[in-house]
């Protein structure tokens, strides 16, 4: 990672995000938490559910000073807990989400800055 420009995501984070997106798309995110939950049909009907799921993953994930991801499975689990609670109102998220976990941050500018 020594040659990584300081304004780029680390390969570790990029890999964690790519893997998370793959698991979302193929229906295996948070296994076994969502094993019997068909959330994929929901994602096409309720894009805000997908938006919130990715926001939770991004808010919860942690990296060390060199950009190595420290808790990808925990971030995945928290995101999966959200999907489970969205699909199953009887499911209780433990521990309950904190505000910073579910916060939706500002989108990027409509035009690139560079």
Is the pLDDT assigned to residue 45 strictly greater than 80? yes
Question: Is 86 within a domain?
Answer: yes
What pLDDT is stored for residue 3 in this prediction? Answer: 65
Residue of higher predicted confidence among 113 and 94? 94
Question: Is 107 within a domain?
Answer: no
Question: Is 28 within a domain?
Answer: yes
Which tokens sit at 51?
């938006």
Average pLDDT rounded to a whole number, residues 45-52: 92
Three-class SS string for the chain? CCCCCCCCCCHHHHHHHHHHHHHHHHCCCCCCCCCCCCCHHHHHHCHHHHHHHHHHHHHHCCECCCCCECCHHHHHHHHHHHHHHHHCCCCCCCCCCCHHHHCCCCCCCCCCCC
Question: Is 47 within a domain?
Answer: yes
What pLDDT is stored for residue 2 in this prediction? Answer: 57
61-94: pLDDT as tens digits: 999 999 999 999 999 999 999 999 999 999 999 9
Question: Is 109 within a domain?
Answer: no
Question: Is 114 within a domain?
Answer: no
Is the pLDDT assigned to residue 4 strictly greater than 60? no
What pLDDT is stored for residue 108 in this prediction? Answer: 92
Residue of higher predicted confidence among 43 and 68? 68
Q: How many domains does the chain have?
A: 1
Question: Is 62 within a domain?
Answer: yes
Rounded CA-CA distance 114/99 in Å is 32
Question: Is 56 within a domain?
Answer: yes
Average pLDDT of the chain to the nearest whole number:
92
pLDDT over 70 percentage in the chain: 95
Burial class of residue 102 (count of CB atoms within 10 Å of its CB; 0-12, 13-18, 19+): middle
Supply the range of the domain harboring residue 74: 11-102
């Amino acid at each position: 990672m020594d040659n990584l420009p300081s304004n780029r995501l680390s390969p570790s984070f990029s890999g964690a995000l790519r893997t998370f997106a793959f698991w979302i798309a193929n229906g295996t995110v948070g296994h076994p938490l969502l094993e019997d939950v068909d959330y994929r049909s929901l994602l096409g009907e309720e894009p805000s559910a997908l938006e919130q799921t990715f926001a939770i993953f991004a808010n919860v994930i942690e990296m060390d000073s060199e950009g190595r991801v420290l808790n990808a499975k925990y971030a995945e689990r928290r995101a999966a807990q959200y999907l489970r609670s969205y699909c199953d109102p009887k499911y209780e998220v433990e521990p309950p989400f904190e505000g910073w976990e579910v916060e939706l941050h500002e989108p990027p500018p409509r035009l690139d800055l560079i």
